[in-house]
Structure 1
Amino acid sequence: MPETPDDILGDAGYAAIELVGRTGASNLEIGYLHDGVPIEAAGWWAHAQYKGARITAEDHTSPAAALEALARRLLTGAKCTHCRGLVALTDRGALAYATSTLVDGTPWNVDQARQAGQCRWQRVGRTWKRGCE
């Protein structure tokens, strides 16, 4: 019996698609690099397009894994649009890059991240939930 989109994407894939939409991406693509190999060896990738910038997650074992990696990449080093805290994906705290530019063009450095506090995000079923909800 063929797999359904629910089987292929699972909750993680659907949560990532929803998150990419919430971040304002103009496009989302999912694909693979290698034909004629088992699905887990196909080299799955996912990327989101933003005003001339493309954020990519590459070389994963399934479409769901590529989408989950893309979601985590988008959230790592980001700030919550609601509380303005640095997004933390684990209880150990958030990861901040020394100097970066947010997708909206805003400069973001470690001192700003420290002052912003943290917002613990987690995936709950088919959506990513912010800790400040």
Structure 2
Amino acid sequence: MSQPNLPLPRSHVKRESGQSMILIAFIFIALLGFVGLTVDVGRLFMFRGMLRNATDAASLSAAAQYREGRSHSEIEASAKDRNIRHAHDLFTISGSSNIHHCRRFYWRNSFNGCGLGH
């Protein structure tokens, strides 16, 4: 025979009455962590896109200056100017550039300094 479901004594109910508040507090802390992580990843992708746009603008400007036959210093200045204008003060450009002048060959190889990986 099975025993009938009897109500729990009042003392047992009082001991478990605050248990749900503790679980809700832990879940809320975890939820805040996920919200913070989501905001950080969103900002990361936003800044990555802005940096990509600035780099694209600088490379297009340098290519246009190169096509017009400008000097190395003019190409570098134009690229830096476009990069600064499109970066929206994300960073400052300092130091030297890494622009190489290459001869145009049909087959590019690593011997002329213009191949892949250089």
Is the radius of gyration larger for structure 1 or structure 2?
Answer: 2
TM-score with structure 1 setting the length: 0.21
Query: Hey, which of these two has a bigger chunk of helix by percent?
Result: 2
TM-score with structure 2 setting the length: 0.23
